[in-house]
Amino acid sequence: MNLPNFAAAWAYVGPLIGAIIGVFGKYLLDMRKERLKKREGLQVVECVELVNTKALDEASLGPIAADIQIKVPKSGPGSEPEDVEEIYFAQYRFRNLSDVPVSKLLLDCNQRAVWFSITEGEGGKNPDWGLQLSELLKEFHHSEARGWEVFPIPYLNPYSSTGHEVYLNMSSYLPLNEVEISGGAKGVKFIFKKLDA
């Protein structure tokens, strides 16, 4: 093929190839934007077990043990108290790893006979959060269908920008080493990390 014929052919083919490259490039760019958009909207909540230990037993009380009685409602809060010999304690930390707040996170726990408290970490201390928690706790404490194993969190702000974190403290006369917590909130990926054995 001589040079003039090649130039004439390129005059027709060049724009066509340029158009195909342009369309393909736009498609790749749109796909990348869509992936980034989905990633920005993804909500991820991390739950890390910080402490899980036997907090008290008769052996740890020494000589005074024979004169001390530990009584707790045997079937959970509100039931008849009975003597127990051991008390266990566990603490869990929650952080929102996404870029948007997570609202009304419900924590399902597979342990029923527990006492608990939910508090904000140092990066929180928001009065509005405390009021919302109180209202949610009233709703769930009076729900027999759910029982005491569901713990609500009003909202979690993004940890990366606000340092907001929430702590769940649990006590029981039953060992807590088998406790597992899952998070129920629409569109939230929940990551549960236990202590290393």
Q: In this structure, is the dihedral angle defined by the CA atoms of residues 141, 149, 111 and 155, taken in order, positive or negative? A: negative
The pTM is what?
0.70
Q: Where are the domains of the chain?
A: 1-41, 42-193
- What integer pLDDT is reported at residue 41 of this predicted model? 56
E-assigned strand segments in 1-114: 43-57, 70-73, 81-84, 86-96, 102-109
Q: What span, in angstroms and rounded, lies between the C-alpha atoms of 39 and 101?
A: 14
Q: What's the burial of 69, exposed, middle or buried (CB within 10 Å: 0-12/13-18/19+)?
A: exposed
pLDDT in tens, 5-29: 666 666 666 677 766 776 676 766 7
- pLDDT value at 77 more than 60: yes
pLDDT in tens, 101-147: 998 888 888 777 788 889 998 866 778 888 888 888 887 765 544 44
> For all residues of the chain together, what is the average pLDDT?
78
- What integer pLDDT is reported at residue 146 of this predicted model? 46
pLDDT in tens, 79-94: 788 888 888 999 999 9
